[in-house]
Amino acid sequence: MAASYDGAVQRIYVDGVLQGQMSNTTPTWYTGLALGGDLSGRSYLGAQFEICEVRLWNRGLSAAEVQAHLSERSVATTDPDLIAMYFFYEGSGQVVHDVTGHGWDLRLGTSTGVDAADPTWVAAHGATPFGSGCSGSGSCTPWISATGPIHAGVSSLNVLLGNALGASAAVLIIGIDESPNVALPIRLSSDGLCLLQVAPQWTMATLTTGTGACSGTASQTLPLSVTLPAGFDFTLQWVTLDPQVSGLGLAASGALAVRL
């Protein structure tokens, strides 16, 4: 959701689409700012939805700018037109920190203590499977699942790989900074049903596993060379070359969307 005011017209957008507007050449200005309610504390939205990022600008955005910045982390924290931006990395407490460095930290609720107006913190980390994958020989489709802890600061990620271990070669591919169900696919079959999430791609592990039909499972530990921040998104996909399949000879799992 985005709300914009250019000094003459107020506009509100949902998913980048203009939902309504009204003229306002004589706005009422207050000395403070409240999100989700008015400054008097008399009115609150009372709606149930998740917030993962909030941006406050010092000017009205155009429709094109709203549409260009729909996804998370699509605006640099150093953008000169930002007043404040919040990533909600804290996970608990009454304060959300301004990541622009301007110091406009956000207080949750109506007081510095716990009260009925406080929102509920929701953990945003984890792994979510999406996509159906591509069959190999005998209609055998690889699969992938995450095991162990998934959160910011972990030094490695443990995954379980299945139904591809007999193939001639296998790779584990990572798509960096993607979000669930928004991966950019490359079509690998003429009917367009077999998709591989590889944009941008990074091969973390290459395994040689034999020449038989797909079967079995194996655990793989992926070391993370740097400490990745909370909210970092990537996708994993388990892909093998199957010599028992004519043509391309590819079998691939569905993707696994991971958020630290």
- The per-residue pLDDT for 259 is 77
Residue among 134, 243, 236, 136 at smallest CA distance from 192: 134
Same domain (yes/no): 85, 150: no
Q: 51-78: string of b/e by CB count within 10 Å (b at 16+)? A: eeeebbbeeebeeeebeebeeebebeee
Q: How confident is the model at residue 184 (pLDDT cuts 50, 70, 90)?
A: very low
Average pLDDT rounded to a whole number, residues 16-29: 91
Burial class (CB in 10 A: 0-12, 13-18, 19+), 167: buried
Same domain (yes/no): 20, 108: yes
Same domain (yes/no): 207, 219: yes
- The per-residue pLDDT for 137 is 64
Q: How confident is the model at residue 181 (pLDDT cuts 50, 70, 90)?
A: very low
Question: Pick the residue with more confidence: 229 or 67?
Answer: 67
Same domain (yes/no): 55, 104: yes
Can you tell me which residue has the tokens 């079995």? 216
Residue 145: count of CB within 10 angstroms of its CB: 16
Same domain (yes/no): 69, 35: yes
Per-chain mean pLDDT for the chain: 75
Q: How confident is the model at residue 20 (pLDDT cuts 50, 70, 90)?
A: very high
pLDDT, tens digit (0-9, with 9 covering 90-100), for 87-104: 887 777 888 889 898 999
Sign of CA dihedral 52, 229, 92, 128: positive
Q: How confident is the model at residue 115 (pLDDT cuts 50, 70, 90)?
A: confident
CATH of the domain at 239: 2.60.40.10
Of the residues 122, 157, 185, which one is the last residue of a structural domain?
122
- The per-residue pLDDT for 60 is 92
- 215 SS3 class: coil
Same domain (yes/no): 112, 11: yes
Most confident of 50-64, 80-94, 136-150, 219-233: 50-64
Same domain (yes/no): 53, 169: no
Expressed as residue numbers, the domain containing 15 is 1-122
The count of structural domains within the chain is 2
Q: How far is the C-alpha of 230 from the C-alpha of 244, rounded, in Å?
A: 42
Same domain (yes/no): 157, 242: yes
Same domain (yes/no): 158, 109: no
Same domain (yes/no): 57, 87: yes
Of the residues 105, 122, 139, which one is the last residue of a structural domain?
122
Q: How far is the C-alpha of 66 from the C-alpha of 58, rounded, in Å?
A: 14
- Cα atoms in the 13 Å half-sphere on the side-chain side of 226: 4
Strand order in the sheet with 217-223: 143-147, 156-162, 217-223
pLDDT, tens digit (0-9, with 9 covering 90-100), for 148-180: 777 777 778 888 877 766 655 566 666 665 444
CATH of the domain at 29: 2.60.120.200
Of the residues 79, 99, 122, which one is the last residue of a structural domain?
122
Same domain (yes/no): 118, 223: no
Question: Cis peptide leading into 223, omega within 30 of 0?
Answer: no
For the chain, helix, strand, coil in percent to 5 are 5, 35, 60
Same domain (yes/no): 102, 209: no
